[in-house]
């Protein structure tokens, strides 16, 4: 099985329906471009995108399946949500492991245990706080990521949560993945210095609409 190596840059290849790159074909091209640039793994959403990416790369794929209300637990919220992305070729399942109530009412430990036992892949816990990270590791998560930091209290910070990376790396005995608002080489160095095992970058690489809008916004009005 493909594994996430230390020092890996993971490129999150995702796009919404409003983006011209939306869909499996666009995401497969994005993954190929990321691999050509040196990415060591891909994060992708849904069985169709995962399958399309798996067809063009041998890199490890972190699979997620976003289902339900984005205001709540919707990143691979149930065991059933994980089944299709593993069948499509994901090597590792990422799921929301915040302390919020889950859609099926079951504890995250039960979901992780079933993924391990029946799907045979490791689990990455997307968390928002140190307490959630500690609980996720106790629940059996193999990897803990800062993906949801700032997104569960309505006040996302402007940059990566370096302090949460540092806290998790200090307190936990598993790999810590830094994800969220990482936009520059300096951001990458900061989270690595804080103890990140690997780094996930999304919009700063894969969303030309966002990049264009930010640059256009910097042009002085005449």
Sequence-distant (≥ 6) Cβ neighbours of residue 195 within 8 angstroms: 165, 166, 168, 169, 170, 176
pLDDT of residue 155: 72
Residue 61 near residue 90, CB atoms below 8 Å = yes
Query: Please, are residues 116 and 123 in contact by the beta-carbon 8 Å criterion?
Result: yes
For residue 222, what pLDDT is reported?
65
Listed as ranges, residues in the chain with pLDDT below 70 are 222
User: How far is the CA of 41 from the CAs of 37, 80, 91, in angstroms?
Assistant: 11, 24, 10
Query: What is the CB neighbour count within 10 angstroms for residue 73?
Result: 24
Q: What is the pLDDT of residues 44-67, one digit of tens each?
A: 999 999 999 999 999 999 999 999
Look at residue 99 in the predicted model and tell me its pLDDT: 97
């Amino acid at each position: 099985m493909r594994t996430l190596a230390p020092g890996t840059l993971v490129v999150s290849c995702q796009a919404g329906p409003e983006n011209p790159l939306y869909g499996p074909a666009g995401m497969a091209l994005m993954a190929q471009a990321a691999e050509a640039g040196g990415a060591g793994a891909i994060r992708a959403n849904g069985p169709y995108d995962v399958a399309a990416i798996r067809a063009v790369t041998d890199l490890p794929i972190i699979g997620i399946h976003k289902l339900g209300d984005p205001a709540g637990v919707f990143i691979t919220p149930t065991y059933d949500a994980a089944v299709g992305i593993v069948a499509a070729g994901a090597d590792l399942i990422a799921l929301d492991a915040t302390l919020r109530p889950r859609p099926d009412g079951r504890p995250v430990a039960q979901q992780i245990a079933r993924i391990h036992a029946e799907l045979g892949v490791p689990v990455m816990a997307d968390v928002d706080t140190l307490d959630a990270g500690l609980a996720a590791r106790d629940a059996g998560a193999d990897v803990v990521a800062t993906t949801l930091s700032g997104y569960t209290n309505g006040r996302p910070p402007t940059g990566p949560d370096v302090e949460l990376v540092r806290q998790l790396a200090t307190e936990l005995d598993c790999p810590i993945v830094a994800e969220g608002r990482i936009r520059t080489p300096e951001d990458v160095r900061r989270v690595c210095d804080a103890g990140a095992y690997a780094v996930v970058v999304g919009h700063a690489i894969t969303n030309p609409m966002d990049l264009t809008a930010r640059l256009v916004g910097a042009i002085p009005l005449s």
